[in-house]
Chains A and B, each alone.
Chain A
Amino acid sequence: MELTTIWFLLVAVLFTGYFILEGFDFGVGMLLPVLGRDDRERRVMINTIGPVWDGNEVWLITAGGAMFAAFPEWYATLFSGFYLPLLLILLALIARGVAFEYRHKRPEAAWKRRWDAAIFFGSLIPAILWGVAFANILRGVPLAADHEYAGGLLDLLHPYALLGGATTAALFLTHGAVFVALKTVGDIRDRAAALAVRLGVAAAVLAVAFLTWTLTIRSSTAAVVLAVGAALALLGGLAAAKVRREGWAFTGTAVAIALAVATLFAALFPNVLPSTLDPAGTLTATNAASTPYTLKIMTWVAVFFTPIVLAYQGWTYWVFRKRIGVAHIPQH
């Protein structure tokens, strides 16, 4: 396999990992005002993701770094072209990251309320905007022959992109609800499981519509197979959630997100950012790539370190595998 293809796959894997992992912590953040009826319940929810959210976010930083290293043209055009959406994502991630760490540092209700808002919006905004961004990558954006973005903000906001945003938000909400059901005990667990099913139906409708629309824009056999797999996995996850098999439900939503992201990348390949303006502006895995020498070094680094990272990150989830409930939340 060509090095550029390997790196296209690796970037796809990194974003897939990012959306599976941060997907549920975005979901938990968005559900905070919905499922968390009082401070203790909200603390239960935050503590289900407390030890892991930061590690989850590093998947994004690594995906960004991998894009920069392996496909500098892609990184440069995408990040400068999607300027304002990325700015909003950054501001949201700043607010929510600080909120997790600072919320419990003072007892006042007003203090906590503000950080709760930061967690809610800090999770909602990226959950929507990542869908908008990926829909635009799939649909293509106006690029000049020199690969510069030639559109404006409004070129990024069209019905297909908005459907993409709604889809990722709904998927992450479902994934988050299933995660809360999986990681908690007591009343909140029951409510989360019930909500997961209702959210999941909406997510399934949106996801099927979005993936179908995607496949009419660009498609491949692999993409169709993956899209069908994503839909089936989501339905399986919902069925499991309905009968309260929470481990299977979480597996289902995780696989659904993975296959949905894989669908997008499979449909996109070999392009990485198609141009709707000048065909010469289209960025592909070949013309956006770094030199074979750089890719080779990066491949060796990835081959050596990725299994180590997966091992210790997986172990962290094992360490914090226990369910928590309001009884586990300390007073202070």
Chain B
Amino acid sequence: MDALDVARWQFGVTTVYHFLFVPLTIGLSVLVAILQTLWHRTGDEKYLKLTKFYGKLFLINFAMGVVTGIVQEFQFGMNWSDYSRFVGDIFGAPLAIEALVAFFLESTFIGLWIFGWDRLPKRLHLASIWAAAIGTNLSAYFILAANSFMQNPVGYWVNPETGRAELTDFVAVLTNKVALITFPHTIAGAFLVAGSLLVAVALWHLIRNRDSADTPAYRFAARFGSWVTLISAAAVVITGDIQGKIMTQVQPMKMAAAEGLYTTESPASFSVLTVGSLDGTRELFAIKIPYLLSYLGTGDPNGTVHGINDLQAAYTAQYGPGSYTPIIPVTYWSFRFMIGFGLAAAAIALLVLWTQRKGRTPTSKWLLRAGLAMPVLPLLANSFGWIFTEMGRQPWIVFGEMLTRDGVSRSVSLAEVLTSFAAFTLIYATLAVIEVKLLIRYAKAGVPDVTPDPEPDDTDDAERPLAFAY
């Protein structure tokens, strides 16, 4: 074990952890904004109840996303300083813009929304949650543009004098085709999580507490959440399909690694499940769908998909001796878990809609259990998606330009990076327990009573308690 390994583990753990909170922030901010808009438009109290209820869950999650996000920005410089030196001219810009354009918007307007129930006119208060939601979604674009440069570097040259990558076309970086497709894929994945959370919580109350006066609110939330889940699942599949084709063009090794495809095939079949030896020489057991991989990768059922062995030989010729192959079991299984868990969430959403057809109320204990598992499934799908796309890029930190091992900080000792890894793991694990317990506590508490909010009045509220206080 050396500092490089620990730095990689730390990046993996802190990033996956951060991304447990990000999808809910992205998706739920918009869904809460929609709920509040519905209340604003119809005046129906059930929407206000749902806004406040899911708003609370959103904020419990939001705080974690914010604080774990700062670690991400600092980590590039702390653990990956040679990477930062190499790409800073390109990679720093989207990060700085993300902070200036998106994070300020998000954090300022979240503050206004949380504390503004009695301070702002209704319309402005509604606009605040929308501004925060827009900021959150914008931030995703900039960080994904930065990540896409690592997957498919564009708009740059490597200056032989300075030895670093330098920006030549910023528009090309922002319109990187990997970024353009990864953004909707990631956003759809985020809504899959948010929709599932809506369903899980609402279903729990619907089935456990059937005579509640708030049944109509939960019914709406369960149905709304199911539709969001289904539509996002469709969007995830469509964008994932396009993404696969782009990946086959720009990172063919990643596609081959997703499949464990060792030899070039045309047409290539998709392996649903293969158990074999790691070097691909022996196959013990396999379920395959003919033509599917060719279609996924190229759009043509008879298209050629390059295999790992051929790509490894080609890269060795191009970049010199070395292994250019990711860890195949990791990429193979993370790719399948991503798809499998995502589809499972969609299937449960379909079931929830079916059990509520024509005004019925679901009663099944099994459905309740499935519903409770629901938010966990797309979270796992999101995590495995990131593990797949980042591990599938290895051994590169910037594809074709810099190896991961060359990006690590030389001045940071093993002891230092072990200290930080241990510290982050410990504090993150502690906070995870606290966070989940709080979420469950507030989810169980159910929708709040809503007394009508008086219009803000500047003259006679000197002694009136605040509508919300920490």
Contact = CB atoms under 8 A, between A and B. Distances in A.
Interface in A50-106: 50-52, 54-55, 57-58, 60-62, 64-73, 75-81, 83-84, 86-87, 90-91, 93-95, 97-98, 100-106
Interface stretch (B82-90, B218-226, B261-269, B276-284): B82-90
Nearest to A71: B88
Contact of A83 (B63, B101, B420, B465): B420
Interface of B: 59-60, 62-64, 66-71, 73-74, 76-79, 81-82, 84-85, 87-93, 95-101, 103-105, 107-112, 114-116, 119-120, 164, 166-168, 170, 409-412, 416, 419-420, 423-424, 427, 431, 434, 438, 441-442, 463-470
A205 to B, nearest CB: 33
A313 B110 CA distance: 12
Contacts of B79: 80
A330 B441 CA distance: 20
Given A68-B76, A94-B68, A104 B170 contact: no
Nearest to B409: A80
Contacts of A297: 93, 167, 170
A302 to B, nearest CB: 7
Given A90-B74, A306-B100, 17 more contacts: A50-B111, A50-B470, A62-B99, A76-B84, A78-B77, A79-B74, A79-B77, A80-B77, A80-B409, A101-B470, A104-B469, A105-B60, A148-B411, A294-B170, A309-B105, A313-B104, A328-B466
16 contacts: A54-B66, A55-B108, A57-B66, A62-B96, A62-B100, A66-B96, A69-B92, A75-B84, A83-B412, A94-B67, A100-B470, A294-B89, A301-B97, A309-B105, A316-B111, A330-B465
Contacts of A51: 111-112, 114-116
B427 A91 contact: yes
A149 interface: yes
A181 to B, nearest CB: 18
Nearest to B96: A65
A62 B103 contact: yes
A9 interface: no
Contact of A91 (B60, B423, B470): B423
A83 B207 CA distance: 51
Interface string A131-146: 0000000000000000
A103 B411 contact: no
Nearest to A310: B104
A68 B88 CA distance: 6
A79 B71 CA distance: 12
A213 interface: no
A298 interface: yes
A50 B70 CA distance: 19
A101 B254 CA distance: 41
Interface stretch (A249-257, A258-266, A319-327): A319-327
A103 B470 contact: yes
B104 A309 contact: yes
Closest 8 interchain pairs by CB?
A72-B88, A79-B77, A69-B92, A65-B96, A68-B92, A101-B63, A76-B81, A80-B81
Contact of B67 (A70, A76, A98, A298): A98
A291 interface: yes
B68 A293 contact: no
Contacts of B441: 105-106
Interface in A148-174: 148-150
A291 B423 CA distance: 36
A309 B104 CA distance: 7
Contacts of A327: 463, 465
Nearest to A97: B67
B463 A313 contact: no
A39 to B, nearest CB: 12
Contact of A313 (B108, B166, B419, B465): B108
B24 to A, nearest CB: 14
Given A103-B470, A301-B100, A55 B63 contact: no
A59 B424 CA distance: 23
B85 A72 contact: yes
B185 to A, nearest CB: 25
Nearest to A81: B411
A16 B416 CA distance: 30
B93 A294 contact: yes
A15 to B, nearest CB: 13
Contacts of B465: 327-331
B419 A84 contact: yes
Contacts of B416: 83-84
Contacts of A293: 166-168, 170
B411 A80 contact: yes
A284 interface: no
Contacts of B410: 148
B74 A64 contact: yes
Given A55-B108, A83-B412, A75 B63 contact: no
Contacts of A90: 70-71, 74
B469 A86 contact: no
Given A102-B63, A105-B438, A290-B89, A65 B95 contact: yes
A330 B84 CA distance: 48
A61 B466 contact: no
Contact of A319 (B73, B76, B112, B468): B112
A94 B424 CA distance: 10
Most buried by A among B97, B100, B107, B410: B100
Contact of A316 (B92, B100, B112): B112
A47 B111 CA distance: 11
B6 to A, nearest CB: 13
Nearest to A330: B465
A207 to B, nearest CB: 27
Nearest to B431: A98
B95 A68 contact: yes
B99 A298 contact: no
A97 B427 CA distance: 13
A147 B427 CA distance: 32
B78 A87 contact: yes
Given A51-B114, A102-B63, A148-B411, A302 B100 contact: yes
A86 to B, nearest CB: 6
Given A50-B469, A76-B88, A100-B470, A58 B99 contact: yes
Contacts of A60: 70
Contacts of A95: 427
A52 B111 contact: yes
A28 to B, nearest CB: 12
B429 to A, nearest CB: 13
Given A105-B60, A319-B116, A93 B70 contact: yes
Contact of B84 (A57, A68, A91, A93): A68
B153 to A, nearest CB: 15
